[in-house]
Structure 1
Amino acid sequence: MTTAPSWAPNVREANPESLNRPGRLPETFWAARPLFKHIRQAAHSEGCSGDVLFYSTLARLSGMISHHYRAVTGIGGRASINIFAAIVGASGAGKSTGSSLTRALAPAPDEDFRDGLPVGSGEGIAEAFMGSVEEPTGEVVQRGKNAGDPVMRRVRKQVRHNAYFYVDEGQTIARLGERSGSVLGETLRRAAVGETLGQTNASEERTRYVPAGSYSLGLLVGFQPSTAVPVLADASTGTPQRFLWAWADDPSIPDKPPMWPGALSMHPGQRRLDEPCDIKFPTRVREMLWEEKVARGRGEIEVPELDGHAGLIKVKVAALLALLDNREHATEEDWGLAETVWAASCGVRDNLVERAKREAAAERQREEDARVLQVVREHEATTDATVAVERVARLVKKHASHVGGITYGELNRRLASRDRKILRKAIDLAEARDWVLEEGDRLCVKTP
């Protein structure tokens, strides 16, 4: 039997099944490119999961790259590369480590990049891209030393294009989304596909307008299994299917840490563009995506609710993998790797869904067992009460058999205290069976 380590006497071994559960990136994936090996070594050098750092890097880089990058497959115009990732693990399992490590692995450019912002509200997400600037009014100063200079005014508008958000506990998002009037859920769903963000208000200082295609945004959320399950159960909103899902633990972390491999010498977040750049896809991939879209549009196929954005997410991942490989076009290999990532994500997601089903079934069984137990107890109580009334009725008959019968007061005194509370029922039963009859204030045995 394995004993707990001396430094943690209260630690118990994890369920062995958790070490082999589906959803981890396979060894073939890590061996596919030197970049992946670099990311995994960086993670393991700090005792972190390779999967966690990989997904964290995807999410953060998707918020760091130029907003001019777009994926083009012939479906839905120019798709954003915004990526949302969810890391699932127990408290202290290292969910937050990936977010901090990716800053060392892929340093941000010296530009106005909002890095690792918390999520407070839907309005706050849009506000991350807003600011105040001085703009000319079209008029000029008429007098004084500044005569002829343009008259300026301060206005609020979008002033930045890149943001990465990190939420340590996914339950926070659920709670914020439940607030009356909250637009957080809708904002996240719009941000995932690069749609327009913001709100139009009566006052200029509260108006936020971030046009579609004008920003890059990445999101990383940490979940405990118990908090991830309700989010997945809410698939009708369209929120959970916009995430990539990963486990926080990693059985392949070595006993001795490898060397830190250093930061990536080049990554797509360092490149800035002045005009749109389309990341195009191989003909086979475009045709396959088109066929699926047409089949869905015709009603010929039904896609599971949680797979509703599968094609789009694989497009995003493949596009970012191409950029990480210093290319502005996706290849068949990029697509194959994106499919591996998607399959791993589905493994985590489906495992959690099955867990939810098991927990729901167990809860239903507990409720059913409780109902059965209550019925049994009520039956037993009824049976016990019936027996007790029968017993006391026989005592009533016995005491009433004395010559002249017995008064109610005397009968009450002769009974044990536990029997007095059912005396009335016992007398009624004795009368119903023709054992006794009432004569004035006395009970007498009824003779044949």
Structure 2
Amino acid sequence: MSEFESFDVARVLQLFADRPIFGGTAHADDDPPPWADATWAIPDVAGLSAHDAALAYAKAGVFIVPTDPTDVKNPGSLLGNRWQDRSSIDADRIAGWWTDHPNAGIAADVGRSGLIAFDLDCDERPAEMTDDVWSALQTGAIHATRATGARAHYVFSCQPDEFGNGAGVFGRWGEVRCSNGVIILAPTQHPDAKTKRGRYGWRRTGDVPPLPDVLRALLSAAGNNDDPKTPAELLTFLAAHTGNDAPSGLQGHLTAFAKAIERGQSRHDEMTKVMAWAFREAIIGRFPAQSAYDALKLAFYRAKPETKGTGEFDRIARWAAAQAETADPETTRRRVNRASDDETFWSARPALADMRQFARARRVGPWAMLGHVLARTVSAIPPHVVLPPLVGSHASLNLFVALVGRSGAGKGGAAGAAADWLGTDPEAFLATLGSGEGMAKVFAYKHRANGNSGPWTQTGLRVSVLFDAPEVDNLAALTSRNASTLLPQLRSAYSGEELGFSYADPAKAVKLCAHRYRLCLTIGVQPGRGRALLDDADGGTPQRFVWLPTDDANAPERAPSMPPGFDLPRWPDPPANGRIVSGAEPVAMLATPVELGALHLLDVPDAARTTIDAHRLAMLRGGVVDPLDGHRLLCRLKIAAALMALDGRTDAVTEDDWALSETVMAVADSTRRSVVDVLVTNAEAENLRRGRSEGVRADAAEQIKTDRAVSRVAENLLRKLKASGGEMARADLRKMFASRDRPFFDDAEAALFDSGRIDKAPSDNTGPEGFVLRLADQDASK
């Protein structure tokens, strides 16, 4: 029988007044309800029996449910299916329960108690959990579920039954308990105490803080990150998706999980990512969802057998199924097809197949090695070789590549592998990227003829340079300088336009004419540090790069044999009539404008012409197209030309070159989007952190302002009491204060009373102000 079924009407009314009751209401004129600002405190129950601990919890306002010790996590094991109507804070009732069941476990009816618990199912902090979320969890009352590690209930106060038990974004790491939810409390014996070091115990007791905004955001974001499915809904999901078009595709997910565990990655986090994608592929019919569930469950518990039976895997599965159902199937198909396209690309030509094998033999990412190979290949093509003027003027082959991977992921290794595999004539000249003004000086320098008395003249050093910036931070540092010209100069170099500055000092005025130099660039980018490039999107800088990953998700267990290197044939020298001065070397003509007749125009396929022309026509007519796609198409055409040269041809880009280049661009698009996604996620976390910090600062400033006002009113109150002879009716005294100070009167009065500086006695009046305030002896005598 619940409190509301009792005939003790006074007790019922007291319960309504003292604590929030599930299904109860506040007085009509109370806004907010009287318990809205209640302060919760978890008692220290160390050393108490279950009976005494249950009473201590109830006294603190936690609604208690006894549970059968043989089924301790089931809140209905003793009270039945309507346990949520029978949870109680009544001391007599609780004492009766433990008299009848002295070994009963203690369950807290969380939501009815005005609490919410985040049940973290990970032994350590999840790698994907942001600092803000982790820090917010640490501010709560912490009730551990293991002897060591991060597994615990992180408890906060909220409005009664404010939330359901949907975990929102938190669902990837555990569960959330609120309305009709329970957690088992210490000193209850953990059912896995002997097998999994399970132990219930409070690590932090005392005041329970309100639910932090950063955690509230995880729950309110559930609309965009669907709540996990129920167990029954998961069974329906597994039964619904039975397609089996590509059963071997499941092996890739198992391999990815196994490799991640070998690298020491979090088992929970990795399974969360792998299962979400596996279920997405099950939805489009590649393999049955049930097969994915069974195989991944086996792999999950093989990685840590002692956790079997905890329900951790099923929680991940229920979350992953919900995520998979909200994902766009077409996006999933594009990714799957890209994997198929990747294989078609690498097997299309012997040189490409050997390159991938070489990369895997050296344990570097094939796409990263390809990026370096393409840059080296273009560096070996003379600068007078150009693309036809499909839009505007002739286009240079100058190529920029961004290699994306975490620190230590093999960007440098890929560069070394490319240098070892590809031989070029002439050999590529490598230089570290510096300032915009300094780029031209790597190609040529100025000096006086005939010693120091002659006119200034320019001497060429080389016509081709492969610049490298191993870390994008170097680029960020260079572009952050005042009046930096680096990015504008790079954009000009990408198009093969004239480089150099009109300095008053002729010693600095190095000039590189259009299509007289070849400039390629490779740059290393950590996913979270790509802002230096992406922030210049309006200028079109990131769209001029080919973004390629340094990883290799399908790397074989055993490195393949090392194939031989590949020597790129030397590009034919231009005819004598293609030079401005007969017999002059290209390095001597860097500052001499090129004549159109000296350019070598590569032919391009009709498919490329049609695609580029259609985009340009739509732009001219004001159609709804992305203007930056023009950069993408030019970038694709440059890749096609590099693939042409790598295939030993020097005359024309073919339809096959153009088709293969789209696969490279699909990888590039995906890689660039992944960098953007990481930056967006980091920015959102930073905004949350900054907003929280600003809120704390604002609260602190407001508190200081309030404290000063209370102090001022308290001193004034003492003076007025002394002036009135040391005693005065509270109501009369309060009226003597200005309206701006009255809000602080109660706090000032309480502070003086608590410190013993005033006494408070009832008067003949009634109501909250029916008191007389008197100066205490020490203040009256001053």
TM-score by length of 2: 0.46
- Contact 2:528–2:678 at 8 Å: present in 1 too? no
Q: Helix, strand or coil: the match of 2:415?
A: helix
Change (3 A) 1:382 1:218: closer
Q: Aligned match of 2:549 in 247, 271, 289? A: 247
Q: Which residue is 1:63 aligned to?
A: 379
Q: Helix, strand or coil: the match of 1:296?
A: helix
- Pairing 1:231–2:533 present: yes
- Pairing 1:323–2:661 present: no
Q: How far is the alpha carbon of 1:239 from its aligned partner?
A: 1.2
Amino acid at match of 2:429: D
Q: Helix, strand or coil: the match of 2:524?
A: strand
Change (3 A) 1:117 1:3: closer
- Contact 2:378–2:398 at 8 Å: present in 1 too? yes
Deviations 1:32-75 (A, max 9, x none): 11111111111111111111110111112222211121112532
Deviations 1:316-357 (A, max 9, x none): 111111122222211111111111111110001112212222
Query: Equivalent pairs: percent with the same residue?
Result: 28
Q: Aligned match of 1:221 in 509, 520, 523? A: 523
Tell me the matched-pair count.
406
Q: Aligned match of 1:273 in 574, 587, 597? A: 574
Q: How far is the alpha carbon of 1:423 from its aligned partner?
A: 9.2
- Contact 1:83–1:217 at 8 Å: present in 2 too? yes
Amino acid at match of 1:312: L
- 1:276-425 alignment to 2 at 5 Å? 276-303=599-626, 305=628, 307-327=629-649, 328-371=651-694, 405=726, 419=752
Change (3 A) 1:177 1:18: farther
- Contact 2:758–2:774 at 8 Å: present in 1 too? no
Amino acid at match of 1:65: I
Q: How far is the alpha carbon of 1:12 from its aligned partner?
A: 6.0
Q: Aligned match of 2:566 in 250, 253, 264? A: 264
Partners of 1:396 and 1:381 in 2: how far apart?
21
Amino acid at match of 1:325: D
**Structure 2, gaps ≥5 residues long:** 1-256, 278-331, 579-598, 728-750, 761-768
Q: How far is the alpha carbon of 1:312 from its aligned partner?
A: 0.7
Q: Helix, strand or coil: the match of 1:78?
A: coil
Q: How far is the alpha carbon of 1:182 from its aligned partner?
A: 2.0
Q: Aligned match of 1:172 in 447, 459, 474? A: 474
Q: Which residue is 1:115 aligned to?
A: 429
Partners of 1:201 and 1:3 in 2: how far apart?
56
Partners of 1:198 and 1:386 in 2: how far apart?
65
Amino acid at match of 1:340: T
- Contact 2:400–2:521 at 8 Å: present in 1 too? yes
**Structure 1, gaps ≥5 residues long:** 137-150, 407-417
Q: How far is the alpha carbon of 1:369 from its aligned partner?
A: 4.0
Partners of 1:43 and 1:233 in 2: how far apart?
32
- Contact 2:500–2:511 at 8 Å: present in 1 too? yes
Deviations 1:349-377 (A, max 9, x none): 11221222222223233334445566777
Q: How far is the alpha carbon of 1:288 from its aligned partner?
A: 2.4
Q: How far is the alpha carbon of 1:254 from its aligned partner?
A: 2.1
Q: Helix, strand or coil: the match of 1:217?
A: strand
Q: Which residue is 2:29 aligned to?
A: none
- Contact 2:423–2:568 at 8 Å: present in 1 too? no
- Pairing 1:90–2:390 present: no
Change (3 A) 1:312 1:385: same
Partners of 1:259 and 1:236 in 2: how far apart?
45
Partners of 2:260 and 2:344 in 1: how far apart?
33
- Contact 1:67–1:216 at 8 Å: present in 2 too? yes
Q: Aligned match of 2:365 in 49, 67, 85? A: 49
Partners of 1:373 and 1:152 in 2: how far apart?
69
- Contact 1:389–1:422 at 8 Å: present in 2 too? no
Q: How far is the alpha carbon of 1:425 from its aligned partner?
A: 11
Q: Aligned match of 2:438 in 124, 143, 152? A: 124
Change (3 A) 1:423 1:74: same
- Contact 2:456–2:506 at 8 Å: present in 1 too? no
Q: How far is the alpha carbon of 1:170 from its aligned partner?
A: 1.0
Change (3 A) 1:221 1:435: same
Partners of 2:442 and 2:457 in 1: how far apart?
16
- 1:189-204 alignment to 2 at 5 Å? 189-204=491-506
Amino acid at match of 1:364: N
Change (3 A) 1:229 1:426: farther
Change (3 A) 1:358 1:396: same
Partners of 1:220 and 1:371 in 2: how far apart?
40
Partners of 1:250 and 1:3 in 2: how far apart?
11
Partners of 2:258 and 2:400 in 1: how far apart?
39
Q: Aligned match of 1:161 in 463, 474, 481? A: 463
- Contact 1:194–1:215 at 8 Å: present in 2 too? yes
Amino acid at match of 1:35: A
- Contact 1:132–1:155 at 8 Å: present in 2 too? yes
- Contact 2:436–2:489 at 8 Å: present in 1 too? yes
Q: How far is the alpha carbon of 1:382 from its aligned partner?
A: 8.9
- Contact 2:383–2:515 at 8 Å: present in 1 too? yes
Change (3 A) 1:423 1:69: farther
Report which structure shows greater RCO (CA 8 Å, sep ≥6). 1
- Contact 1:241–1:308 at 8 Å: present in 2 too? no
Q: Which residue is 2:200 aligned to?
A: none
Q: How far is the alpha carbon of 1:152 from its aligned partner?
A: 9.1
Partners of 1:180 and 1:388 in 2: how far apart?
50
Q: Helix, strand or coil: the match of 2:429?
A: strand
Q: How far is the alpha carbon of 1:279 from its aligned partner?
A: 1.1
Partners of 1:296 and 1:89 in 2: how far apart?
35
Name whichever of 347-356 and 65-74 sits farther off: 65-74
Deviations 1:191-242 (A, max 9, x none): 1111111112223221110001111111100011121144213312221111
Partners of 1:3 and 1:53 in 2: how far apart?
21
CA-atom RMSD in angstroms: 4.5
Change (3 A) 1:60 1:28: same
Q: How far is the alpha carbon of 1:184 from its aligned partner?
A: 1.0
Deviations 1:280-306 (A, max 9, x none): 11223212211211211221123064x
Q: Helix, strand or coil: the match of 1:363?
A: helix
Change (3 A) 1:359 1:301: same
Q: How far is the alpha carbon of 1:163 from its aligned partner?
A: 0.9
- Contact 1:66–1:273 at 8 Å: present in 2 too? no
- Pairing 1:75–2:377 present: no
- Contact 2:446–2:510 at 8 Å: present in 1 too? no
Q: How far is the alpha carbon of 1:84 from its aligned partner?
A: 0.4
Q: Which residue is 2:421 aligned to?
A: 105
Partners of 1:292 and 1:255 in 2: how far apart?
44
Amino acid at match of 2:343: E
Change (3 A) 1:117 1:426: farther
Amino acid at match of 1:242: R
Q: Which residue is 1:35 aligned to?
A: 351
Change (3 A) 1:435 1:116: same
- Contact 1:64–1:217 at 8 Å: present in 2 too? no
Change (3 A) 1:388 1:272: same
Partners of 2:430 and 2:672 in 1: how far apart?
24
